[in-house]
Each structure stands twice: as C-alpha cells, then as structure tokens.
Amino acid sequence: MYITSQVLINDITLTAERVELMYSGILKFDEYIAIPCYGANIILRFSYVGNENISLPELDELEENLRNTVGKRYSANLMGTAYQKQGLDYANIKSITQKIDSLFDIEINSNQFHKNGLDNDCAQIKSLFNLIETPRIWEMQVNKDEILILALCSGERPSQDRELKVIAGESGKIKLVFVEDDNSYRGLMKTLMLAVSQKVSMCHILLDYQE
C-alpha cells in the first residue's frame, strides 16, 4: 500500500527530522495520517515539548511556521494537548466542526502529490474487504501493529459485522471501521483550510467557534 510504502515513509522521516532539528526541544514528531476522501492530504502531527507554556498568538506562529517547513507535499499541525491548554474543549469538537462546515462553503485543497497513491489504496481496501463500492475513507493511520482505516457511511449505520473488520494484507493487519458521516469530518478539513488562509493555528479557528 502507498500509505506504508518505503518511499513515502522515508520522505516523511526526512521531513520530520528537518522539523525536529529546526525546532529542537520544542517539537517532536508523533504520527502521520492520510485523508483520502478530502483532498488526498497527508498530515504530519507533532507534539509541543517546550518547557514553557505558549500563548495562542505564539501557537499560531508556531503552527504557521510548521506548515511552511514541511512544504507543499504535506499538511501539519500540533497534537491535541497543545490545543487543550488554550482552552479548547475536545468533548465539543464534533459540534464545533459541524458549525464550521455549515458556515463556510470553501474548497478543500487537493494534494496531487499523494492522490494516485491514496486512490490506489482505497481501491485495495475495496478488494480486500469485498466491498460493493470503493469506500469513502476519511482517515488512514499507520500504527505499530496495524493500519486503522476509518470509512464514512451515510444514512443508516452499517450492520454490526461491517462496523469492524480486520484482515491481514501485504502491509500487515488492516482494521476497517465505519463511522457516520455527520459533516464534522468535512468541517475539520475546512478548519484546516481556514487556518492556512488566515495564517493561524487550527486551534485558533476552533476556539473562534466554540460556544
């Protein structure tokens, strides 16, 4: 699969190492996730490990610089703990991103660097799990012992035997989970687009629409 290909992993590793070298003692690379159905984006996620608490303007500047550092091949943001320290209530993330989705009719950028590879991965998932249609995959996350695939479903929730499937593929164990498409996922990507255009952190946009 493209998401576990050595070429991609090597490039992500080099990119993450460049960030960690530039922000030594401040940022630490944690993981990467792919978002096939909304722009074929791959997002690199970092933790803030600095000794001092940072303000929201400082977080905005750090995340904007982080995006510029990883370049056009990837998106990047900080992990949730940095956002929670700014007062973001993660229990309300779904309602916040649903609100953002309803308020903004904006295009989600398509990343041509990864589109063909992630399209092929989606086709492989259809074949491996004997699905009737190619799934709308929200997220692919490579964990230590498995690849987690979150696929969107509309209308009625899938039957129990489709909510969770595990299969052994060439890239190792693959877990497929169906989640309800309630527009919060699209809203999260719109949040990223707004953050990029306004040169602030995703946290800043989420806080703006937190009740």
For residue range 75-117, list pLDDT tens digits in order: 999 988 899 999 999 999 999 999 999 999 998 988 999 999 9
Q: Is residue 185 a contact partner of residue 43, using CB atoms and an 8 Å limit? A: no
The residue ranges of every structural domain in the chain are 115-180
Lowest mean pLDDT segment, chosen from 29-33, 43-47, 162-166, 191-195: 162-166
Contacts for 141 with CB less than 8 Å, ≥ 6 apart: 31, 33, 34, 147, 148, 150
**Nearest residue to 82 via CA among 119, 122, 55:** 55
Rounded Cα gap, residues 171 and 16, in angstroms? 22
CB distance 1 to 114 below 8 Å? no
> DSSP assignment, residue 201?
-
Q: Name the least confident of 18-22, 129-133, 184-188.
A: 129-133
Which residues touch 133 (CB under 8 Å, ≥6 apart)? 126
Return d(Cα 32, Cα 111) in angstroms, integer.
15
**Mean pLDDT within 154-160:** 55
